[in-house]
A and B are shown apart, each in its own frame.
Chain A
Amino acid sequence: MRHTLTLTVNRMRLALRTPAFIFFSLAMPLAFLFIFCGLFGHGRPQAIPYLLASVLALTVMGSFWGLSLQLVTYREMGILRRFRLAPIGAGAMLASSILSNYLLTLPTVVLQFLLARWIFHLPTWGNLTSVLVMVTLGTVTFAALGLIVASVTGTAQETQIINNAFWLVFLFLSGATFPLPLFPSWLQGLALLLPATYLVSGFERALASGTSVFHLGAELLSLSVCAALALIIAQKLFRWDPGQKAPRRARLWAAATIVPFILLGAWEIHSGALMASARANFAPLERQAAPQNLPR
């Protein structure tokens, strides 16, 4: 545990000295805030909670990149081999990735909240406990998913390509950028298979309708299962050495994680609860937006 903390402190320090990290983890989330709230929420404070939910979801999903890329670079450069000579385990290395991600995401989230309040007149804080739970669970989940990509890919360049591919899916299919109710129904079904969708939904419900943690069942279930699986697989796949290959069985394991999401997705498609709440949260925006756009 002590080693995890030492590693966390040092890796955070190193991340903050990297311009690319600052850009992706601080500048980009703030840009999301200003683009979403400034363009779509201008003069409509009631829309801000809904928009802020998307911004927070994107920020948390960003931990997918974060420290996992640092880990790949370290492996590629042989830095991890030096660490391996010391009495620290793979667990401490992975835990420090997730913990640093979390500690670096929290201040950004707080800043986004405050800016939303001051500049865009956020009318309500929503349910802050739910928000905190979603931020925590979301960061762990997406950071761990990033660690899997980090282990499966060989070079930092490969990691970036795979990360981008996933990122695009998360960005456009989760409801974070295009509202879920606007999707054709087959695409809605597909979206319900993604953990990212549950993250967006959790934030929307916590912020726009003040839903308490106890009523975020599907979201919590999806993200916890995803986090647990991702952590186990990341640990199985972890490599210190650039020359080491990930065992094939471990790769199969990684692929097998899809199963619970298909089950949960199927259940959600069947029950329609998540879609109903997405529609309910999106409805006021539509209603409000319509009259403004019509010339009278």
Chain B
Amino acid sequence: MEGLCYRYFFSVNSPVIQVENLIKSYGSVEALRGVSFEVQEGEVFGLLGPNGAGKTSAVEILEGLRSADSGRALVCGLSPLEAGHRFKEEIGATLQSTALPEKIRVREALAMFSSFYGRRRNLADLLRRFGLEEKRHTYYGQLSGGQKQRLALALAIVNEPRVLFLDEPTAGLDPQVRREIYDIIEELKQEKKTILLTTHYIEEAERLCDRVAIVDYGRVIALGTPRELKQRSAGTTRIEVRLAREAVDGALAKLEAVSDLFQLEDRYVLHSTHVPATIVALVKQLEIDGNELVSLEIFSPSLEDVFLELTGRKLRD
């Protein structure tokens, strides 16, 4: 009942997650240097950034596992550390490394955790949905990485939470298992769950998230939908060409709509603000110079480029 009243009181329009100027240090290490963002009801929000950027610190503050040094964090209008059990009824989470006792069986783990909550899902349904039916009597220690992660996700929604926190849900999993997890998260998205996920995989953020905050060194350096972010990346597309002979000095840089040019091994990399114009100009120029085109590749901007542009580093270095 309390949950219902509370939901009524908490209006649909206010953000489900509110983070304002979060600051957190561990000794001399500044993990969060003023992080702010909001997540709306039913939104899948991603924190994208390299390891050590501060994503986990932010999420764990929102989960009530850590305290912030300063700043404000509210989930469903509640303060994670102070609201106690009422808060925990509203959230579900997978930790970066969810650990359970080696000798607990899959079904026992689900039954135990579900018994802690007021709202509960049907366990048989959960087992079926997460493909764990056949493994229900298996010890946790004997599950594969993918099965463990599926169990962690099942445990996270055992209480029909309003908000889900998924900290690096596919880290360390092989690509096929990763796609399985994507499917599960997409299903949760269909259910209009509010999800905050952290990742250092570009494709994960692009595929799953409605909005993404790019985090680096404890700060949000860009925030928007994946499309917005990519457009913001100066709107340039990367064109990589290989030529039969070396280009005439300075000729390529002067082509129409080229904003940047550099040589990478045997290729010329052009950044273009208008691809067709650049290509037409390129072909004409080569004809004049008596040069020939060996290959041409076009890369539309990805979040990786955005990250590279903003930080000067690759995401997965």
Contact = CB atoms under 8 A, between A and B. Distances in A.
Interface of A: 2-3, 6-7, 10, 13-14, 17-18, 74, 77-79, 81-82, 84-89, 240-241
B116 A87 contact: yes
Contacts of A87: 84-85, 88-89, 116-117
Interface stretch (B46-54, B99-107, B222-230, B237-245): B99-107
A137 B155 CA distance: 37
Contacts of A241: 65
B142 interface: no
Given A6-B112, A13-B108, A86 B103 contact: no
Contact of B98 (A3, A82, A86): A82
Contacts of A89: 85
Nearest to A84: B65
B137 to A, nearest CB: 13
Contact of B101 (A6, A79, A85): A79
User: Interface centre among A2, A6, A84, A85, by most B CB within 10 Å?
Assistant: A85
A79 B100 contact: yes
8 contacts: A13-B108, A14-B104, A78-B98, A82-B155, A85-B63, A85-B65, A85-B88, A240-B65
A79 B109 CA distance: 12
A86 B101 contact: no
A81 B116 contact: no
Nearest to A79: B99
B103 A85 contact: no
B93 interface: yes
B100 A82 contact: yes
A13 B111 CA distance: 14
Interface in B70-93: 84-85, 88-89, 91-93
Contacts of A88: 116
Nearest to A11: B101
A81 B65 contact: yes
B113 interface: yes
B311 interface: no
A85 B91 contact: yes
B97 interface: yes
B108 to A, nearest CB: 7
Contact of B99 (A6, A10, A77, A85): A77
Contacts of A7: 112
B95 interface: yes
B226 to A, nearest CB: 29
Given A85-B63, A85-B88, A6 B95 contact: no
B14 interface: no
Top 10 A-B residue pairs of the complex, sorted by shortest distance between their CB atoms: A87-B85, A87-B88, A17-B103, A78-B99, A86-B116, A77-B99, A6-B115, A79-B99, A10-B112, A14-B101
Nearest to A82: B98
